[in-house]
Chain A
Amino acid sequence: MTIEKLTSNFELLGDWEERYGYLIDLGKKLPGLPDADKVEENRVHGCQAMVWLRMSRDTQNPALIRIRADSDAFIVRGLISVLMILFDGKTADEITAADVKSVFSRLGLDQHLSPTRKNGLFAMTERIRTLARGLAIEQNVANN
């Protein structure tokens, strides 16, 4: 799914119940992480639910970054799905440049992006950007 497709799907939905229903469905479909990866070093703090995040370079194309994440709350899993559409399989530069705020705003979910909200979306976004920069630096070092 592309972010354009997701946005147009969201626009077809009427009230908040349909939007949340859709988000919850996305959350239920998220592949998630195996239990072995649900460990402290992968925890993202700043959420009332548990959130785990793993990032690695793509095995075929090391310039691309792969993201896997999971949560025990469906809405958080749904928000992770949106982040995956935005960030998974992108380069570090694309991840840094992505305008997350305007995407969530178009989805009518921008209130979830505030650092004071306890759903971890803000913390996840920050973590993805930080890890992406770290992976990009590693990649540059390996290439030089």
Chain B
Amino acid sequence: MNEPKPIDWSKLRGDFPILGQQINGHPLVYFDNAATSQKPRQVLDAIRRYYEHDNANVHRGVHELSNRATDAYEAARARAAKFLNARSPEEIIFTRGTTEGINLVAATWALDHLKPGDTILLTELEHHSNLVPWQMVAQRTGAKLAFIPITGDEGTLDLSRLDAQLADGVKLLSLTHISNSMAVVNPVADICARARLAGVVTVVDAAQSAGHLPLDVQSIGCDFLAFSSNKICGPTGMGVLYGRRELLEKLSPYQGGGEMISKVEYFKTTYNVPPHRFEAGTPHIEGAVGLHAALDYLDAIGRDAIFRHDQELANYAAERLAEFKGIRIFGPKRGRAGLVSFVLPNAHALDVATMADQKGVALRAGHHCNQPLMAKLGVPATLRASFYFYNTRAEVDRFIEVLRGVVKLLGS
């Protein structure tokens, strides 16, 4: 067996111009990667190059620049298909992000298919983006919501009743791959296989997993999967929705406008084929170009190596955090993804994050768009440190040192 060649992580860090700066007179420690990642020079250069050389609208003109822009846009689609191991680029819809991807499925498949009495199955871990759209669908269709429960502070799903739950009128299951607050990696392939046996359509929220571990939609076996570009080194306002071709072909359009039509008359329209049917209006072309560069960048490193790196940092951070008396650390003891959420005794998350920022450490404080989950855990807010491949153990040490100072100042 070939030994993988060692990765020079500090050299990769040098690709990120933003990370070299000082915040409030201290070196920036950026631990809010689960919210958005930073961008390497390669992505910034690709976007700049696109605007300096190839910019035009896509799928319209016959002129050279329009052809180049269209080629770049469609090349990004093919690249995204490869990134997910989709069967073809036609299964890739470009969106504004994970949230829009989920809303697209909600507004098309779900509104077309769900009837009063049907059930939408979610988990108790879901981000508001994978909860609120389904509440809206339930209100409009008369379908009801049900939830796969979690087990305590570890946040792993209790799948012991999954088959019974699926058999209870469930038409659609939508779940997160990696929890943005609990760092749990859900066994999505197993869950989707059981859902498929029950004839249930599946949606995977891959916002925290794409770009963090290898993703293969065929081996996961989901019908839809959504992720965001901004969390994986790509530009903001860009995302991908994978949809299995057989489903996409039968799906109603999402928004109306240019690009999504094949023939328009004053009183009726024939819609374009997927994926264009779901991309009304001028798309985020430079977003696609930047995403393409980001996917190339990540795959040159290797997503399995990235996952191991981030997991090691998260485990190390959890281990160091355990030094704080009375701390409550959330997430699984084994198999943690690259983030750690915690609550310090008698120290409000907002206070801690405000003061950590004074020392250049960027943490997230709050409910992380998981209000029902926070209520279930009985905490108003948690602190979260989330990592990416450009973060280092030295930064974790610095974070712990800053946290000690903050705890002392709070007198807790």
- CB within 8 Å of B: which A44-71 residues: 47-50
B354 within 8 A of A: yes
| Bound CA–CA A47/B349 (angstroms) | 12
Q: How far is the CA of A20 from the CA of B351 in the complex (A)?
A: 10
Residue B306, interface by CB 8 Å = no
**B409 lies within 8 A of A72 (CB):** no
CB of B348 within 8 A of CB of A49, answer yes
B355 adjacent to chain A (CB < 8 Å) = yes
Q: Quick check: is A75 within 8 A (CB to CB) of the other chain?
A: yes
Residue of A nearest to B381 (CB): A48
Q: What is the bound-complex CA distance between A76 and B365, given in angstroms? A: 14
Q: Decide if A74 is an interface residue (CB 8 Å cutoff).
A: yes
Closest to B348 in A: A73
In the assembled complex, the CB of A48 is this many whole angstroms from the nearest CB of chain B, namely 5
Contacts of A21 in B (CB 8 A): 409
Whether the Cβ atoms of B350 and A73 lie closer than 8 Å is yes
**Given known A75-B351, A75-B354, contact A50–B380 (CB-CB < 8 A):** yes
The main secondary structure of chain B at its interface with chain A is: helix
Q: How far is the CA of A20 from the CA of B354 in the complex (A)?
A: 10
Complex Cα gap A47–B365 (Å): 11
Which one, A20, A24, A28, A75, contacts B350 given CB within 8 A? Answer: A75
Q: Which of B24, B351, B409 contacts A73 (CB 8 A)?
A: B351
In angstroms, Cα B350 to Cα A50, docked, is 10
Q: In the bound complex, do residue B366 and residue A20 qualify as a contact, i.e. CB atoms below 8 Å apart? A: no
Question: How many residues from B make CB contacts under 8 Å with A?
Answer: 16
**Do A118 and B380 touch (CB < 8 A)?**
no
A48 contacts which of B350, B355, B405, B409 (Cβ < 8 Å)?
A: B350
Contact B405 A74 (CB under 8 A): no
> Which single residue of chain B is at the shortest CB-CB distance from A28?
B411
Residues of A close to B380: CB separation below 8 A: 49-50, 72
Shortest B347–chain A CB gap in Å is 8
Does A17 sit at the interface, judged by CB under 8 A?
yes
**B269 proximal to A (CB < 8 A):** no
In this assembly, does B377 line the interface, its C-beta being within 8 Å of a C-beta of chain A? no
Q: Is the CB of A74 within 8 A of B381?
A: no
User: Digit string of B119-133 for contact with A (CB within 8 Å is 1, else 0)?
Assistant: 000000000000000
Whether A119 is near chain B, meaning CB under 8 Å from some CB there, is yes
**Complex Cα spacing A47 to B380, Å:** 12
Interface size class of A (residues with CB under 8 A): 10 to 19
A20-B358, A72-B380 are known contacts. Are A49 and B350 too (CB-CB below 8 A)? yes
**Chain B residues, Cβ within 8 Å of A73:** 348, 350-351
1/0 contact string of B391-412 vs chain A (CB within 8 Å): 0000000000000010001110
In the complex the two chains form, what is the Cα distance from A74 to B348 in whole Å?
7
Query: Would B348 and A20 count as touching, CB distance under 8 A?
Result: no
- Name the residue of chain B whose CB is nearest to the CB of A17: B409
Chain B CB within 10 Å, residue with most, of A16, A49, A72? A49
B347-388 toward A: CB 8 Å interface, digit per residue (1/0)? 011110011001000000110000000000000110000000
* A contact residues around B366 at 8 Å (CB): 48, 118
Once A48-B350, A48-B365 are accepted as A-B contacts, the answer to whether A24 and B381 lie under 8 Å apart by CB is no
Q: With A50-B380, A72-B380 known to touch, is A119 a contact of B409 (CB < 8 Å)? A: no
Please give the distance in Å from A119's CB to the nearest CB on chain B.
7
How many angstroms between the C-alpha atoms of A30 and B366 in the bound complex? 23
Complex Cα spacing A115 to B380, Å? 22
A17: which B residues are within 8 A, CB to CB? 358, 405, 409
User: Would A16 and B348 count as touching, CB distance under 8 A?
Assistant: no
Q: How far is the CB of B369 from chain A (nearest CB, A)?
A: 12
Cβ–Cβ < 8 Å partners of B405 in chain A: 17
- Indicate which residue in A28, A72, A118 contacts B348 across the interface (CB closer than 8 Å): A72
Contacts of A20 in B (CB 8 A): 355, 358, 409
Question: Residue B358 contacts which of A16, A47, A48, A118 (CB distance < 8 angstroms)?
Answer: A16
Among A1-57, those with CB < 8 Å from B are: 16-17, 20-21, 24, 28, 47-50
Q: Which residues of B from 328 to 353 have beta carbons under 8 Å from A? A: 348-351
Chain B positions within 8 Å of A50 at CB level: 380
CA distance A20 to B348 in the complex (A): 14
Interchain CA distance A49-B354 in the complex, whole Å: 12
Seen from chain A, the residues whose Cβ lies within 8 Å of a Cβ on chain B are 16-17, 20-21, 24, 28, 47-50, 72-76, 118-119
20 interchain pairs, CB-CB under 8 A? A16-B358, A17-B409, A20-B355, A20-B358, A20-B409, A21-B409, A24-B351, A48-B349, A49-B351, A49-B381, A50-B380, A72-B380, A73-B350, A74-B410, A75-B348, A75-B350, A75-B355, A76-B348, A118-B350, A119-B354
Q: Closest 3 interchain pairs by CB?
A: A73-B348, A48-B350, A49-B350
List 18 additional contacts besides A17-B358, A76-B351; criterion CB under 8 Å.
Answer: A16-B358, A20-B358, A24-B411, A28-B411, A47-B350, A48-B350, A48-B365, A48-B381, A49-B350, A49-B351, A49-B380, A72-B348, A73-B351, A74-B348, A74-B351, A75-B355, A76-B350, A118-B350
